[in-house]
A and B are shown apart, each in its own frame.
Chain A
Amino acid sequence: MKNMLYKEFKLSVHPTCYLFLLLSSMLLIPNYPYYVSFFYQTLGIFFIFVGGQANNDVYFTTLLPIPKRDAVKARCMTIVILELLQIVVSIPFAIIRGTLIPLENQAGMEANVAFFGLVFVMFGLFNLSFLTLFYKTAYKMGVPYLFACISMTVFVGLSELAIQLTPVLKTTMDTFNPVYLPQQLMVLLVGILIFVLLTILSYRKAAAHFEQIDL
């Protein structure tokens, strides 16, 4: 697996993935739907697959002495690494935003602990819809990405609606008030758990699909 990850980062990862990490700085914008900066990383991940098609990545990978399943596992791990990196790089900006800019975000959730829990769920949904659909063919990526975008948008829209329209959620979740940190930590933990479960599920389904197809 170490070799496959080396291959992924040496040959396959698209440079925009690193560039989009810098878009974490969008969390400094006082009024902004902060999910967007994380959405960009899914675009970077999509570019890995677009580049993979242009570079015959699937063919190159099948030449290597590894099970087909490992190729999917390495790609899933690469995606998870990029998603986690995006979150890690965002944290300092979220802290700066929360401590130095004393303005409420008028465009959606504050970039607080609960928000990161919801970002984990968003990434989990992306992984599930994009990976499982892509590996049904290992070459069609437009429709899988469209479905992934729809699933992320629906989730973000519904969670924002729920938080903005439900007073108790608005009070506890859309705030930097440390009093509500326990509740927000719970959302973060549940978010991480959902991310892990959805990602494992997406790997299993994607690997099963990939093993079935003729290349």
Chain B
Amino acid sequence: MLKKVSEKSNNSFVTTDIKNRYEILSVRNLTKSYDTFKLKDVSFTLDPGTIMGFVGRNGAGKTTTLKAMVNLVHSDSGNVSFFGMDIKTHESEIKQHISFSFGGVDYYLQKKLSSITDVYRRFYDQWDEKAYQDYLNRFELDPKKKAKELSQGMRVKYSLALALSHHAEILILDEPTSGLDPVSRDEILNIFEEVVDEHQTSILFSTHITSDLEKCADKITYIKNGQLVVSQEMKSFTDSYLLVNGSSDQLTESLQNTIIGCHERRGEFSGLIRLQDSGVTQGIKTAPADLESIMVHIERKQTK
């Protein structure tokens, strides 16, 4: 079955047949308990050829979820399947067709890229040396350089070059844009879009930089305190909320019951409401909500 998955079809590494038959990534009721934190029943799916942003504040459980997905962390219950195969029973086969990175290339920093690649490529049946050379040129990576000599942005590019050269169909990246300057972030996001558009690769990346997601994410999965808040189309998610603000005397009881993350200061209030509750905002200024405002208000509500 896996062989079929890897067959190339019009430059796409996931055949239409497979796409129709399987969700390429399915996370079901993932649970993991630590002494001070619990990941509870996290479920979502990833569609082929899409970019999914995985958001949540620091400590929400993003990295734990991603690690549990690739079996670096043992989940207590739930399951994760790639291309219809369970990660716990088909780990090696699945890893031939996916790539993941937690914090970019921060291994063997004293080694030259050529030495790391020389080892890495041997493990992949589908390693494409020509594609690798193309990516090196495209990303302006010098194989003679040591990994430690690369900037943070270049390290992300190098890990992408490795992933794409074995035709990974799913890239799972933990905060690939954290610590990058705005120009480098934009560059990486453009590469994400190209990769998805050209190869039908799917990308799941965690971030707390919401503007990155607004630039390129098709879907978002939002996690809070180890629990899934939502996993849906980016636009429909942001469209389902409105920002409201007005004077404190406009803050009626019905509005107080529906407003999320209300903040009052100097006789003014601001907050977030669900679109379905917009009936209670007559006469009050509303504005479209962006992802950052939604997250901030939802998290604020929780901490209040």
Query: Chain B: how many interface residues by the 8 Å CB criterion?
Result: 28
Segment of A3-11, A154-162, A188-196 in the binding face? A3-11
Chain B residues within 8 Å of A6, by CB: 119, 122
A153 within 8 A of partner (CB): no
A137 within 8 A of partner (CB): no
Given A65-B95, A65-B96, A214:B67 Cβ within 8 A:
yes
**Contacting pair B73 A214 (CB below 8 A):** yes
**Contacting pair A66 B92 (CB below 8 A):** yes
Produce 1/0 per residue, B202-218, CB < 8 A to A. Answer: 00000000000000000
**Contacting pair A11 B92 (CB below 8 A):** no
B282 within 8 A of partner (CB): no
Q: Considering only CB atoms, which chain A residue lies closest to B124 in the complex? A: A65
Closest chain-B Cβ to A153's Cβ sits at a distance in Å of: 33
Q: Considering only CB atoms, which chain B residue lies closest to A9 in the complex? A: B119
**Contacting pair B119 A7 (CB below 8 A):** yes
Given A10-B115, A55-B108, A64:B120 Cβ within 8 A:
yes
Most buried by A among B67, B73, B101, B119: B119
A139 within 8 A of partner (CB): no
**Contacting pair A215 B96 (CB below 8 A):** no
Chain A residues within 8 Å of B118, by CB: 10
Chain B residues within 8 Å of A64, by CB: 95, 120, 123
B110 within 8 A of partner (CB): yes
Identify 12 new A-B residue pairs, CB closer than 8 A, beyond the known A59-B102, A63-B95, A65-B124. A6-B119, A6-B122, A11-B111, A55-B109, A55-B110, A56-B107, A65-B91, A65-B95, A65-B96, A67-B92, A214-B74, A215-B73
**B interface residues with partner A (beta carbon < 8 Å):** 67, 72-74, 91-96, 99-102, 106-111, 115-116, 118-120, 122-124
**A interface residues with partner B (beta carbon < 8 Å):** 3, 6-7, 10-11, 55-57, 59-60, 62-67, 212, 214-215
